[in-house]
Amino acid sequence: MKPTRGSQRASSKAPKGNKPSKKAQRRRKSQEETQPGTSSVVPQPKPKKNKFAAPPPPKKVKGQDKWKPLSKSSITALDSMLGVAILSVLGTQRTEKEESQKHLNILKNMFIAKCSQLAVPVQKQEMFGHAFRQLKEENKKSGVGKKNLSILEGDVDAVVASLEEVEEQRDALEHQCSNLRKMLELEEDANQQILQLTEQSVLHVPALPSRQDRDKTLQKRLLGLVPNEDWTTMACSLAKTLHAPGPLQDARALLEHAYRHADHLLTASAAVNQ
């Protein structure tokens, strides 16, 4: 067992394993405050911040003494960048462009006036110039890209127009082909009808005489048609009919003329064949 304490003051440490509860801690605090010789300190509220008070001065940065105001080139570059930004913003608007442009120009001038009074590191000023040069290069690239895009759009329009013309020509050719097919079908039907007619009606045309027969005169051909025994009788009958008066004389003249004409035709055809 541990020896008991001589004084009646409470121990500073609680025994291990027996942690006092919250109520015991509150009671203990109240007893300590009521003991003589102790002073009660009342906490006072924190003072409120004044909204209208001047802000504290900014802390100085290392090397701030070497800073210089912005140069004219840096201010010009900043002005140009802000002008480009204003134009890009105005391009997206459809109404009230003039009022917006005036308001943005006022803000730009105020901002540039403030920037011209500021002191900045020398390296930052060089960054402004570099950014301005890079902006110029990007603007040039965008201009070239817009020109190329317009050229490509023109080429695309020309290709589309040529394709439309080709489609129109194709439609016209298809129409012509359909008309030609119809005409071909009609001609095939007509040819089929002609073939059917030729199969139904066969022409019996006598064969052409041989070359020896074509060389003979009409008199020889007629004599060849009549047998030898009947020559005398046929000659006598023809003589009687030819010497008869009246209309028979006209028939005789007609036969003579026909004989001469037929003999002339036969001799001419024989000469051509030779």
| Each residue's pLDDT tens digit, 185-202 | 999 988 888 887 766 665
Q: Across the chain, what does the average pLDDT equal?
A: 73
pLDDT grade for 171, boundaries at 50, 70 and 90:
very high
**Is 44 inside a domain boundary?**
no
Mean pLDDT of 3-30: 60
**Is 169 inside a domain boundary?**
no
% of the chain at pLDDT higher than 70: 57
Q: Which residue has the higher pLDDT, 175 or 44?
A: 175
Q: How many domains does the chain have?
A: 2
Q: How far apart (Å, rounded) are the C-alpha atoms in residues 199 and 136?
A: 93
Most confident of 9-23, 61-75, 203-217: 61-75
Residue 1: what pLDDT?
46
**Is 211 inside a domain boundary?**
no
- Where is the domain boundary, 124, 148, 172? 148
**Is 212 inside a domain boundary?**
no
- Answer yes or no: is pLDDT of 106 > 60: yes
Q: Are 104 and 86 in contact (CB under 8 A)?
A: yes
Q: Which residue has the higher pLDDT, 54 or 151?
A: 151
Residue 114: what pLDDT?
85
Q: How far apart (Å, rounded) are the C-alpha atoms in residues 76 and 112?
A: 9
- Domain range for 124 is 65-148
Q: What are the b/e assignments for 67-86, b being 16+ CB within 10 Å?
A: eeebbeebbebbbeebeeeb
- Answer yes or no: is pLDDT of 33 > 90: no
**Is 140 inside a domain boundary?**
yes
**Is 16 inside a domain boundary?**
no
pLDDT grade for 51, boundaries at 50, 70 and 90:
low
Residue 262: what pLDDT?
75
Read off the pLDDT of residues 114-162 as tens digits, 9 standing for 90 and up: 888 877 777 776 777 777 788 788 888 988 998 999 999 999 999 999 9
Give strand ranges (E) for 123-193: none
**Is 2 inside a domain boundary?**
no
The pair of structure tokens assigned to 85 is 């930004």
**Is 102 inside a domain boundary?**
yes
- Where is the domain boundary, 113, 148, 183? 148
- Where is the domain boundary, 116, 148, 180? 148
The pair of structure tokens assigned to 111 is 């901002």
Residue 27: what pLDDT?
72
Distance of CA 137 to the CA centre of its chain: 31
pLDDT grade for 176, boundaries at 50, 70 and 90:
very high
Say what angle helices 72-92 and 122-200 make with each other, to 10 degrees. Answer: 40
Residue 119 bridge partners (DSSP): 69
Q: How far apart (Å, rounded) are the C-alpha atoms in residues 127 and 135?
A: 12
